[in-house]
Amino acid sequence: MPIRVQNDLPVKEILESENIFVMDEHRAMHQDIRPIKIGLLNLMPLKEDTELQILRSLSNTPLQVDVTFVMVSGHVSKNTPTSHLNKFYCKFNEIKERKFDGFIITGAPVEQMLFEDVDYWEELKEIMEWSKTHVTSTLHLCWGAQAAMYYHYGIDKVQMDHKVFGVFWHKVLNRKIPLVRGFDDVFLAPHSRHTEIPLNLVRKDERLTILAESDEAGLFLAMAQAGRQIFVMGHPEYDRVTLDQEYKRDLGKGLLIQMPVNYYTDDNPESRPLLTWRATANNLYTNWLNYYVYQVTPYDLDGTPF
């Protein structure tokens, strides 16, 4: 499928080198088709890495996808050049009158803080409330999923006694639900977090449906409102080397960090990490776009109330 991006977005060249069909603005203007409009609220510090990971994940569908990068106003990014943000990102107040077919809220490295202590929490609450009336389906990732569970359903995250770090086995539940169509009975997916949403509290809430969980890593995938809200507690979009970079970064800082599990061949951190979750990640994003965005969203997006 063509991913529509701005002509000079830096990660465009990388995507093209991977044979991912990327369409620039000029070519997109000459196609008689309404693209699926996806907003990406990127809360990760290394924004260009996340752009690449998410765009790659959205690429396995015949639909044309028009991605708008969004940032919060109440936080200054220290790891992404201001020039990049000014050129390729919109602030929320610049897009809040628009409607989107789909919206993605990423994780953020603030999971050990109280939600209320995060400097952009009030703005994020406004965005999550806005998504209920301006977005067909919202996909929340890792800390973004924890924040949404807390805001929408009052289920708070809890601190774990160890970091869930590595690639973990999960089992599929509710197989008839289209979001997990094509999944194997068990599958691998990456996690990197110190907190979790208690499974027992999610099970008790009849508004929430659990689709996949892990004996070691806990909740992985849940949904609400027939797919208008989807929660992913791990990082299926991660690249092959993302956990490797996190591990070696923390080692370099002298932090106590265990080796990521089920990741390196023979648990040798000098070996090339195994990529064992890409097919599942592609399946998840394709199912989301197909069953919960494309087949649900109205053609006249701006003129149809949600």
Active site residues per annotation: 142, 235, 237
CA distance 197 to 239: 24
CA distance 13 to 3: 12
CA distance 275 to 239: 8
Element (H, E) at 94: helix 92-95
Residues 6+ apart with CB under 8 A from 239: 49, 52, 53
* Tokens, residue 248: 């070696």
Element (H, E) at 31: none
CA distance 93 to 249: 35
What are the φ/ψ torsions at residue 66 (nearest 5 degrees)?
-105, 110
CB 297 within 8 A of CB 289: no
CA distance 273 to 230: 29
CA distance 222 to 129: 19
Element (H, E) at 70: strand 65-71
DSSP-derived letter for residue 22 is E
